[in-house]
Amino acid sequence: MRLPVAAALLSLVACSESTEGTTPKLEGLINPRQRLITPARVCNAGGGPSGWRLELIGDRFTPVPRDALTDSPSVELPTVSLSGPADYTLPADHLFFARTELMRMDLPTRDSTPSNTLPPGAYTVSVTNPLGGTAELEDALRVVPPPVITTLTAPEGFRYNAASPLVIEGSGFRADALPLIVLQRQGEEDQPLFTVTVVSDTRIETEVPPATPEGTYALTLTNPEGCSVTRPQALTITYPRLGNLSVSPASGPANSDTVITVTNTASGTANRFTPGTHEVYLVAPVKTDPGQTVNIPLYDVTYVSQAQLRATVPNCSGFDSRPVTDPACPGGIVPGTYGLIVADPSGAFGTLPASSGFTVTP
């Protein structure tokens, strides 16, 4: 501890008339990630280089200055110990005095330096002031292991136009609190999974959002107290494919919407159109934000046959409500040539590249 802090503590201990004695009072232990959860839960793995930061709440935590009259003054902090499935005393350099009502501590884990893997279970926490006096709090800390993922299953496969159920099996899941589950792929933003049901401490049911880009993803699951596990290359997302797509007419003016026919030439394992509601998008910018390419939905999409759909490209209206009365079409599509995305109700999808897509002419 730095010299000015040591001097302040010397003044506190030696000169203060309000010091209530050397016997501390311990009221609670808090994991800042879950401040309202008691007893505090903490993982025996992960954390920062020094472990997990926890907070001791109470009163009369009383450090004692040492060697105050020498060139190397120091401060002796209270001792913090744990007793339960194992006994453990925290290293002095893992304790931090904030005030007489608050101390912070870094609890070492399997992955910290120094490392220490506490067995899971309930622990009594004790604080002993340097000049004597000890306070204990039973069941103040619950140590839990990190979660383990053994299998991931997409029982219905993956659908482009709808959420795809995903089952995660393993151990150490929190049935009383929702974990954070994220799909990760290099070069892409993390994809959180928002619909999560913890069925038990060994099973979680969730969903992969519709239109998640195809590819192989790592999956990271983090419990609320901080425990985390990452399974690399956990999930490969692929969708059924439509056949080769083409559009006719292949262009239309920017000052009016255009009715088009999308043709699906399917062969081999490619999927034909199926009856139902189709989603068709033009991948293009609109005039209100010309630097941003977005998926613009076509309207009046109609199933004609297994080989054809009919739809209207909103050249003039863009995302605006129809009809648009301004002949300048201020919210319309920026002139250019753009690709299409077609999502079939079967879960299959297809794309038409911009090189052979639809042109909005000036």
CA dist., res. 252 & res. 260, Å (int): 9
What predicted TM-score, i.e. pTM, was given to this entire model?
Answer: 0.80
The stretch 42-58 carries a mean pLDDT of 96
Can you list the domains of the chain with their CATH numbers?
3-144 (2.70.50), 148-237 (2.60.40.10), 244-361 (2.60.40.10)
Whether residue 43 contacts residue 145, with contact meaning beta carbons closer than 8 Å, is answered with: yes
Please report the pLDDT score of residue 198 as a whole number. Answer: 95
pLDDT digit string, tens, across residues 23-49: 999 999 999 999 999 999 999 999 999
- Any long-range contacts for 45-49 (C-beta under 8 Å, 24+ apart)? 45/109, 45/110, 45/111, 45/117, 45/145, 45/146, 45/227, 46/109, 46/110, 46/111, 46/146, 46/226, 46/227, 46/228, 47/106, 47/107, 47/109, 47/111, 47/112, 47/226, 48/106, 48/112, 49/112, 49/113
Q: With 80 as the cut, is the pLDDT of residue 178 above it?
A: yes
Report the share of the chain in percent with pLDDT over 90. Answer: 88
pLDDT digit string, tens, across residues 85-140: 999 999 999 999 999 999 999 999 999 999 999 999 999 999 999 988 999 999 99
Mean pLDDT of the chain: 92
Q: With 50 as the cut, is the pLDDT of residue 3 above it?
A: no
Handedness of CA 241, 303, 161, 289 (dihedral sign): positive
The stretch 167-195 carries a mean pLDDT of 92
Lowest mean per-residue pLDDT among 19-28, 72-81, 279-288: 19-28
Please report the pLDDT score of residue 68 as a whole number. Answer: 61
The stretch 248-276 carries a mean pLDDT of 96
**177 — pLDDT class (breaks 50, 70, 90):** confident
pLDDT digit string, tens, across residues 310-321: 999 999 999 999
Q: With 70 as the cut, is the pLDDT of residue 21 above it?
A: no
